[in-house]
Amino acid sequence: MTELSHDDIPEIALTWHREGRGAALATVMETWGSAPRPTGSQLVVSGRGEMMGSVSGGCVEGAVVEEAIAALGDGRPRVLSFGVSDEEAFAVGLACGGKISVLVEPVGAALPEALLAGLVAARAARQPVAYVVDLESWDRRLAGPGDGLAPRFRADKSGVEEGRFIAIHNPPLRLAVVGAVHIAQALVPMARACGYDCLVIDPREAFGSQARFPGENLSHDWPDEALAAFGLDARTAVVTLTHDAKLDDPAIRAALGAEVFYLGCLGSTRTHAKRVARLTEAGFGPDQIARIHAPVGLDIGAKSPAEIAVSVMAQITKVLRQG
């Protein structure tokens, strides 16, 4: 495995363990309200004292690293609790102090290698997966949204529940934008700031150019072909912006045939009525067509391309978090 980053903590832990360096995973279980690192955040520590990731703004990292190395020595997991004073909290950018609890697990002893490998495989396959630990028996398992955890997956919310720690691992969010127009130029940077991996699709190379979208992931394939290559799943949003039925419609049909969590289409009420007629004629039912958010975006009176992009990003977020 190459090019591992700070977002690849389970992958790094597995790699270090298999290389013989030793690895202990530290995961935030509970924390104060304004913490710089949310529940589920992770830090991995090797037997050599190497570390990657973070469980706080720096005020407890040193103690966690010491406990992680100790866990590698005795093979036992532990739950660490820290009280953070107002002064310490302010020093790392918090408004007030509080408490943080961290689960530390040595890989290969407390945390079986096979279980960690299963977690890494699910992440690589873009499958939503939860790592569940019984804090009394220390039994561990992997679970999915169908195991009564759908609300936690929807909210990206790890935490302690009924004596279990549930660490949610969702695939990264993605946004496919069909139409390299002015709205897309404003929308894509906003989406990236919100944590989305983006793809801009436009067969018209003059529109979908690096000059107009510097550094962005561009596709000049036909929209349905580009979306098929991109892959559509429940962590993907699709927005069509061209006003051109021959470009938008193939993308809309592809999105309606997938489990995308959001599909928004630019156009007036009259434009959407014509779109609905075309989709109905193509065999799509009312329930499928009702998945389309059109006119796209929340009604905030937006006029400029940037304001429309704000309304679209707000609606995508609302659907993601509230359904």
- Kindly report, residue by residue over 58-97, the tens digit of the pLDDT: 667 788 999 999 999 999 999 998 876 656 555 554 445 5
Cα 45 to Cα 39: distance, rounded to the nearest angstrom: 18
pLDDT at 28 exceeding the cut of 90: yes
User: Is the separation of the CB atoms in 272 and 265 below 8 Å?
Assistant: yes
Query: Which are the contacts of 303, defined by CB distance < 8 A and separation ≥ 6?
Result: none
User: Is 292 found in the same domain as 203?
Assistant: yes
pLDDT at 16 exceeding the cut of 60: yes
Domains: count for the chain = 2
Query: If pLDDT is split at 50, 70 and 90, which confidence band does 103 have?
Result: very high
User: Is the separation of the CB atoms in 223 and 199 below 8 Å?
Assistant: no
User: Is 276 found in the same domain as 187?
Assistant: yes
User: Is 96 found in the same domain as 196?
Assistant: no
| CATH number of the domain encompassing residue 225 | 3.40.50.720
Give the residue numbers spanning the domain of 71.
9-124
Q: Tell whether 158 is covered by a domain.
A: no
pLDDT tens-digit profile of 122-171?
999 999 999 999 999 999 999 999 999 988 998 889 999 999 999 999 99
Strand stretches in the chain, DSSP E: 23-30, 42-46, 51-53, 78-84, 98-106, 129-134, 140-143, 159-161, 164-169, 174-178, 197-201, 218-219, 236-240, 262-265, 292-293
pLDDT tens-digit profile of 281-316?
999 999 999 999 999 999 999 999 999 999 999 999
Confidence (pLDDT) at 90: 55
pTM for the model: 0.77
The residue out of 103, 124, 145 marking a domain boundary is 124
Chain centroid, CA 69 distance in Å: 30
